């Protein structure tokens, strides 16, 4: 479901030795030259004021509802305390660091505030230490459910649960460093890895659709019915995401590693729901890949347990969502005849899948009415 947009690990002295979706670097990007540190064997690029890498995507990615961005950086001791950009994804998403000079930095590193830009605002994830002689891995994740997380060397260092819920952004470029700018007071630093992934609004449905068995549908391939059904399913997914936004807000709290609270950001219900969702999703994917739904319990058991947690935490909202799902018509009236013919002709292929989906929906309605 998540797609890789850009990966650069600077394996050699060629600045263009990266993996990315179709696009091209700007001419100014070629002024960067990777260099190798003989003592550590690490290859990196030095980012100085007005220097950086700008990769322009050939076709902008729209409806981005999730991003995961990983940057490996080193920040040599510097007297500058200026805010500086590390990476930007399009015009709406990016990471900036603000080194602190008071008190004076230690000989081993510098404390810095971490600011992640999502839309028009910034999320402050607190302070981290930027090492002077080694590299540290920084990663931030955001999802349209409102969850935003910041990691340092794989360790969760900050979390927010209400960041631009329901939003979607466009990504037309990936920039790291300060290409084209003139921030004379900004310090220099090193980057040795950049990895960007993104999730489009349509990706989840597209992934699920690719796992389904192929069937022949006469009178259906003109695209009109297919598009209407997909639109209805997208609307349903948006409704489910809105519910999960409320669940995340109810079962987690804003948190930073330096500021607490000490119990962490997540309630036990949140952790359990996450594990159950992963378990159910994996089981369903494995059954569809094997084209064998004869034993649906590995999916239905964690799915049912997940529903019970969601209902217990937000009973009124869960009942409302279940009612909306029951009333929703995934198939437009004018398309039902073609669908019924498809079911008749592909009964052997679709029967077990339809039974599984019917059972899943029945459990939603049953738990809502308990």
How many other C-beta atoms can be found within 10 angstroms of the C-beta atom of residue 265? Answer: 20
Asked if residue 103 has a cis previous peptide bond (ω within 30° of 0), the answer is yes
Give tens-digit pLDDT for 289-342: 888 888 999 999 999 999 999 999 999 999 999 888 877 755 666 666 766 776
Dihedral of the alpha carbons of 87, 88, 93, 96, in degrees to the nearest 10 = 40
pLDDT tens column, 235-286: 888 888 999 999 999 999 999 988 878 889 999 999 999 999 999 999 988 9
357 contacts: CB under 8 Å, gap ≥ 6:
none
Interatomic CA distance for residues 347 and 351, integer angstroms: 5
pTM of the full structure: 0.88
CA dihedral 300, 303, 305, 308 (to 10 degrees): -120
Compute the half-sphere exposure of residue 354: CA atoms within 13 Å on the CB side of its CA: 11
Domains and their CATH numbers in the chain: 3-200 (2.60.120.200), 203-369 (no CATH)
């900050």: which residue's tokens? 158
């Amino acid at each position: 479901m998540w797609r890789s947009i850009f990966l650069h690990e600077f394996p050699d002295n060629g600045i263009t030795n990266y993996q990315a979706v179709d696009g091209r670097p700007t001419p100014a990007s070629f002024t960067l030259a990777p260099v190798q540190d003989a003592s550590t064997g690490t290859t990196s690029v030095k980012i100085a004021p007005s220097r950086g890498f700008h990769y322009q995507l050939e076709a902008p990615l729209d409806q981005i509802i999730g991003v995961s961005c990983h940057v490996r950086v080193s920040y040599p001791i510097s007297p500058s305390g200026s805010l500086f950009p590390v990476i930007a994804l399009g015009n709406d998403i990016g990471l900036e660091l603000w080194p602190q000079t008071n008190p004076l930095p230690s000989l081993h590193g510098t404390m810095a505030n971490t600011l992640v830009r999502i839309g028009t605002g910034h999320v402050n994830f607190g302070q981290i230490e930027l090492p002077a002689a080694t590299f540290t891995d920084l990663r931030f994740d955001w999802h349209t459910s409102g969850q935003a997380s910041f990691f340092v060397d794989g360790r969760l260092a900050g979390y927010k649960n209400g960041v631009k819920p329901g939003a979607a952004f466009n990504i037309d470029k990936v920039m790291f460093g300060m290409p084209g700018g003139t921030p004379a007071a900004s310090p220099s630093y090193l980057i040795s890895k950049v990895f960007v992934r993104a999730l489009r609004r349509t990706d989840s449905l597209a992934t699920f659709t690719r796992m389904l068995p192929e069937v022949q549908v006469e009178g259906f391939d003109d695209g009109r019915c297919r598009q209407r059904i997909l639109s209805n399913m997208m609307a349903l997914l948006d409704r489910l995401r809105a519910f999960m936004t409320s669940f995340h807000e109810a079962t987690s709290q804003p948190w930073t590693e330096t500021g607490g609270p000490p119990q962490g950001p997540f309630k036990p219900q949140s952790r359990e729901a996450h594990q159950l969702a992963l378990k159910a999703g994996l089981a369903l994917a494995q059954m569809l890949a094997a084209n064998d739904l004869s034993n649906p319990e590995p999916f239905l058991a964690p799915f049912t347990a997940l529903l019970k947690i969601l209902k217990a935490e937000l009973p009124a909202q869960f009942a409302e969502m279940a009612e909306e799902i029951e009333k929703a018509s995934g198939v437009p009236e004018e398309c039902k005849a073609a669908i019924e013919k498809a079911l008749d002709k592909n009964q052997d292929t679709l029967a077990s899948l339809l039974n599984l989906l019917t059972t899943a929906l029945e459990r939603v309605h049953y738990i809502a009415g308990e």
